[in-house]
Amino acid sequence: MFQAQLSTNESQREHAIQALGVLGAVPEERFERLTRMAKRIFDVPLALVSFIDTEDKASSNLDIPDALHEFRFFCDYSIRNDGLFIVPNTLMDERFNEHTLVTSGREIRFYAGYPLKLANGQVFGTLSLADDKPREFSEEDRQLFTDLAVMIEEVIAALQLATQDELTGIANRRGFMNLAQYALEFCKRHHRSATVLMIDLDHFKTVNDLYGHAEGDAALVAFTLLLRDEFRASDVIGRIGGDEFIALLTGVGSKKIKATLKRLAQAVENYNFHAARGYELQYSVGYVTSGPDETASLKDLIQDADKLMYESKHKTEDNVVS
C-alpha cells in the first residue's frame, strides 16, 4: 500500500473510510463502471480508483494487476497534489523514469491522477489513468477527467450519508453491520477470533436534561474520540443508537481485550478529571468472543454482548466497567 504524506487527522480519515465499507462491502460495480467509462473516454489501457490503505478498483488491459502495489508510487504524487496531476511522458520525468513500471517492459509512459476527497476535505484516494504511450491532455480532457473524479466523490458522499453517523463521524448502524459482517466472514475464512463489544453511556439522559442537547452532543463526540484513541484503526466502531456504541475486534485474545478496556477506562477517567464539564462520562460494556473455528452469527454475537452489557450495568453501583 502507498503511504501518502497527508496533513489531515489520520485516525479520523481511517475511521471515515472504514465506515464507508470500502474494504469489501460497498457495491464495487459502481467504481468499476466509472473506471470502465474512463478507459473508453480517454482510450487508455488502465483506469484505477485507489483508496488509501484499502483495496483498489481497477479496469485494466495493462500487465500490472500483480504490481498494483508498485503503481501506488504514482498515486502517491496525486494524493499530495491539490488538483489534477499529469505526467505526459514518464521517460522524460526524473521522478518516474527509473521506476520498475517504466523500465521493466510494462511501459507506463503516461499518468494522470486526481485526489479524491470526502465531504470534509479529507483525501481518501485517487482516480488514475495510465497509458503505454506518451500523450498530452487537452483542456477538454482535463475537464472530463475532473468531472469523473467529482462523480466518484459524489458516490462516496452518498455512501457517507447512508453509512456514517453524522455527529461522530464513525459508522452508523447500517455502516457497522455491513463492515462488521465482512470482517466476521474474513475471520471465519482465516480461522481468527472475533469479539463484539456493546458499550452504553450511563446517565446520558441526565446530561441532556441538565445541560442541554448541545452538551449531550459534545459528550458523544468526546466519548467517540476516546474510543478512536484506544481501539485499533482496524477495529470496526459504530454508534448504533443515541448513547449506544458497538465495536468489533478481530484476532485478539482475552488479555488484549481486557487491556484495551483498561486503557479506555483510564482514558475516560483522565477526561473526566481534566474536562470539568459538571458531569462525568460513565459507561457500561459487555463483550463476547467467537473463537477461530466457531460459526456464531453477527446477530447472535451482538445479542449476547448486549445482554452482558446490561448485566454489568445492573451489577455495578457506578455503572462503569473497567
Task: Tell me the domain boundaries of the chain.
Answer: 10-163, 173-315
Q: What is the pLDDT of residue 300?
A: 95
Residues in Cβ contact with 217 at an 8 Å cutoff, skipping those fewer than 6 apart: 167
Q: What is the pLDDT of residue 226?
A: 96
Q: Residue 289: enclosing H or E segment and its boundaries?
A: strand 283-290
Question: Which tens digit of pLDDT belongs to each residue from 136-161?
Answer: 999 999 999 999 999 989 888 887 78
* CA–CA distance, 30 with 35 (Å, rounded to integer): 9
Q: Could you give the dihedral angle defined by the CA atoms of residues 231, 235, 236 and 238, in that order, rounded to the nearest 10 degrees?
A: 0
The percentage of the chain sitting over the pLDDT mark of 90, rounded to a whole number, equals: 47
Closest to 152 (Cα-Cα) out of 23, 247, 33:
33
8-state DSSP, 171: B
Q: Which residue has the higher pLDDT, 219 or 293?
A: 219
Which pLDDT belongs to residue 2?
A: 37
Examine the pLDDT at 40 and tell me if it is beyond 50. yes
Sheet containing 123-131: give its strands across. Answer: 56-60, 46-51, 123-131, 110-117, 85-87
From first CA to last CA, the distance across the chain in angstroms is: 36
Structural domain 173-315, CATH architecture: 2-Layer Sandwich (3.30)
Cell numbers 439522559: residue: 205
Q: What is the arrangement of strands in the sheet containing 236-239, beginning at the earlier edge strand?
A: 236-239, 244-250, 194-201, 283-290
Mean pLDDT value across residues 63-68? 54
The pLDDT tens digits for 210-239 are: 999 999 999 999 999 999 999 987 788 999
CATH for 10-163 is 3.30.450.40
The per-residue pLDDT for range 234-285, each reduced to its tens digit, is 788 999 999 999 999 998 888 999 999 999 999 999 999 998 889 999 999 9
Could you tell me the pTM of the whole model?
A: 0.65
Instruction: Measure the CA–CA gap between 316 and 151, rounded to whole angstroms.
Output: 51
Question: pLDDT over 70 for what percent of the chain?
Answer: 83
Position 245 scores a pLDDT of 97
The number of beta carbons lying within 10 Å of the beta carbon of residue 302 is 20
By 3-state DSSP, what share of the chain in percent is helix, strand and coil, each rounded to 5?
50, 20, 35
Examine domains 10-163 and 173-315 and report if their fold is the same: no
Q: Which amino acid type is present at position 127?
A: L
